[in-house]
Amino acid sequence: MYKARGSLSITEMQKLVFTRILLGSRVEQEELLDSGKGTDQDVIENLAEMQRINDFFGGTRALTRHLFPALLQWDQPQTVLDLGTGGAGLPVKLVRWAHQTNRPIQVFALDWSMRNLKSASNHSVEIREIHRIQANALHLPFKPGDIDYVISSLFLHHLSPGKLVALLSSSYQQSRHGLIMSDLVRGWIPLAAFKLIQPVFARNFLTRLDGEISIRRAYTPAELTCLAQEAGLPKPRIYTHWPWRMTLVVAK
């Protein structure tokens, strides 16, 4: 079949329509937590619930199954930067793993929100390997090579495509060994599943409402691959993990 430059074939259009029906179009909507809604106690409860959901449903494993083997490659102390750290649950788990495996590590927990970082201080302030930093992830306060691995969990969907491309590019340039970033996968099925688990796992209104927005804001593996390529990342690899998680790995 003849296909004009820039046009889609019948089969491609059918696939596109099917994909949009199955996954839904991505929305650009600010989450309540990002807009400052809720009390300090709401924030603490929300971040704690999100960490439990991430742990129980495989979100944490989706990242650590790639990060831990990468860290084990090196004998010298490693530095890790966690973007959009929220309650710093991931840095805490990372340091505990480092203690168990006798691996020297320093973790920088970065978030633009002081409310989030105050919540993080409730359980990370006494861990000397964790350093909380209030900063914009698009303007990192580090020099290239200061950080070995740049990581993130449930953060990429907070950024528009243009900002995500900028973040991936700058984070890769800053890192010494590469990027490992996990996030949700958009779709109606994960959205329905999240609604189903809310009575047990999402009792705080921020968790319920922002969780639904997060799923609708999330990217698909194909979309994230395209954005990583647009950012100039060499050989980006996207791993999918059940249920409805994906991890971007780019090694140097």
Tell me the one-letter amino acid at 176.
Answer: R
* Local confidence pLDDT in tens for the 252 residues of the chain: 323 334 445 565 455 455 555 667 899 999 999 999 999 999 999 999 999 999 999 999 999 999 999 999 999 999 999 999 999 999 999 999 999 999 999 999 999 999 999 988 766 778 999 999 999 999 999 999 999 999 999 999 999 999 999 999 999 999 999 999 999 999 999 999 999 999 999 999 999 999 999 999 999 999 999 999 999 999 999 999 999 999 999 999
Residue spans of alpha helices (H) in the chain: 10-23, 40-56, 59-71, 89-100, 114-124, 161-174, 188-201, 205-217, 221-230
DSSP strand pairing (245-251 vs 237-241): antiparallel
Distance from the Cα of residue 195 to its chain's centroid: 21
157: which DSSP letter? G
Q: What's the gap between Cα 176 and its chain centre? A: 19
- For residues 249 and 252, give the distance between their C-alpha atoms in angstroms, rounded to a whole number: 10
Alpha carbons 84 and 113: distance in angstroms, whole number? 9
User: If 0-12 CB within 10 Å is exposed, 13-18 middle and 19+ buried, where does residue 75 land?
Assistant: exposed
Q: How far is CA 151 from the centre of its chain?
A: 8
Query: What predicted TM-score, i.e. pTM, was given to this entire model?
Result: 0.90
What's the rounded Cα separation, in Å, for the pair 16 and 31? 27
- CATH fold of 58-185+219-251, please? Rossmann fold (3.40.50)
Domain boundaries, the chain: 58-185+219-251
